[in-house]
Amino acid sequence: MASNLHMKRLLTACVSLCMLLTAKAVEPAWVTKAYETAEAQSEMMYKRVQAEGKLPRSIQRGLQDPQDWCVGFFPGTMWLLYAHTGDSIWAARARQGCEMIAGERFNAFDHDLGFKMQCSFGTGLSLVPDKEYEEILYRSARTLASRYNPRVGLIQSWEADTARDWKFPVIIDNMMNLELLMEAYKQSGDSTLRDIALAHADKTMRCHYRPNMTCPHVVDYDPLTGEVRKFDWNNGSDDVNVSTWGRGQSWGLYGFTMMYRETGDRRYLEHAERIADYLLAHPNLPEDMVPYWDYTGSDRSTMRDAAAAAVMASALMELSTWSAKGAKYFEAGERQLKSLASDEYLAAPGTHEGFIIKHATGNYLWKSELDGALSYADYYFMEALDRYMKLINGRTLYNNSRMAHLSTGNWFIEAHDPATVVLENDGVIDITTPKGFTMWYDKPLSGNYRISYQAMLPEKGGVHDRASDLNCFWGAKDPDCPDDLYANAPWRKGIFQHYKTLKLFYVGYGGNYNTTTRFRKYFGGGPKLSDDVVRPVIAEYTDKAHLLKPDKWYKIVIEALPGKTVYKVDGKELFSTDTEPGDTDGYFGFRLLSNHCLVRDFKVEEI
């Protein structure tokens, strides 16, 4: 059972989670049915876990000891049920599941520590702050890192095998385990973990993929030279020239999407987009978008793998928040989720031995776990549902996210708190942010232009309602990454001091708890330099007439003109300054801090 200290942490977390759940979420009927089924099935499965003292893998292989690679998924599923319901019983049960596998943090036998520990302890840590969980994840990451060979530049998946002529086998599944390294790096600052993750991702991108963006399951390397020895299979088709194992393609899509989130490196985003585009256009992708066990194998078998669909749907939900093609990816992921939540794939409560998803296939050619249940199909289905619910309710998945569904165009969000909510109703953008928040208009501006919009800070008793910080940036660019403003977004993530690396103009209207209205020019240089150097104040007001009033719509106009830029409020010029050519070229962004803001009639025009 959970310790008293764990229960105290849990109650603290429950308070904050329940606050998030008080606002009525939009929940389609098919999602409600899916969650109700998942809860009933997980209740059934939990009783089996209690009785046997093991954790589920599949119907064929039953429940397994901690050494099995699948043991982290059911604790993760219970954490995701807690995230949706707010019911602390699921958190307590998830903790019990995690405690059953805590010793695996020392198991260096294979690469699967990421699946085991990140999906269990990592999912829990994302919901409930816990120092012990951080320490377990760090130890797990160090253990996984011990399988890295710097000569090869990769983490070895399995041991050498003379029967298969493998000297240094690496499987595409390993991309999923890099998230453990990146999370542990962020928690600990141990840059070795990050460097290993980057090296592995880079070489996988170069060596594991064919020109058409498909990959085999296995690539074997020479451990002395690091050169590719051969493509091979252990799952998917045994024709290694064309094999396109369904779940393997989903692992790669998920892994490279995640690596973009963690690094901001657009190579990973572009690689993920190319994988997604290939799969979504594949002639062998069935109408319901639940892949066959192998995309090339429909002539040999039309057995489906619902696990491949669940992983892919979750990856597409996240990819939709990063890519300029986000609407396409979101729609595809939604279609997959609706298929998985249909009677064809969703188990009826009380059946399927407690598993949630039907028609999941482990390994067709080895005749293992065929057309049945897999614990990871359940976990990634639940994760995809969680992501879907956040997105349709205006939540970001992580600190940064592209919001492609607003009528005013595409926007890119950098939020210090992922609990930030961005909605749109009847043309009004409704933003609630607990901490620092920037929303960039996702199109660089240049030349002479005018930005206009109306904004209001309501005070209706909401948790974050306050008349303060109706701020904005314009002409923003990153001197370190002049071609990509978002490259350092994972580092900035809405923290105000981190924007001191940028060059831009800034107005803080009603800042400092509505005591100042300031106009600054940012010269870049970073947070360690003083404000006088990096962002000197050009002009300032402190009188009441130039501060904010709650529940009042303000008409804001920003102009980039020849030789100067101007900021106006309600038709009156508040600030202006002389400019050099190119000063105002760059991005516009709303900048908020711990408040609730409504925006309407946003428009950009050339002048």
| Cα–Cα dist 124/76, whole Å | 7
Residue 112 annotated to the active site: yes
Alpha helices (H) in 53-122, listed in sequence order: 73-85, 88-101, 113
Q: In what order do the strands lie in the sheet with 228-232?
A: 169-171, 218-221, 228-232
Cβ atoms of 390 and 419 closer than 8 Å: no
Token pair, residue 15, equals 């308070």
DSSP-assigned letters across all residues of 451-513: EEEEEE---SS-TT--S--EEEEEEEE-TTSTT-GGGGHHHHTT-GGGGGGSEEEEEEEEHHH
- Out of 110, 173, 220, 232, the active site residue is 173
The owner of tokens 């002539």 is 299
Token pair, residue 11, equals 């109650």
Number of residues in the chain: 607
- Out of 68, 112, 294, 386, the active site residue is 112
Q: What is the dihedral of CA 194, 196, 201, 207, to 10 degrees?
A: 160
Alpha-carbon distances, residue 589 vs 55, 169, 285 (angstroms): 47, 47, 40
N-term to C-term CA, the chain? 67
| Cα–Cα dist 531/537, whole Å | 8
570: left (phi over 0), alpha (psi -120 to 50) or beta: left
Apex 279 CA angle, 200 and 272, nearest 5: 35
| Cα–Cα dist 468/330, whole Å | 34
Residue 478 annotated to the active site: no
Task: Please report which helix (H) or strand (E) contains residue 179, including its range.
Answer: helix 174-188
Active-site positions? 112, 173
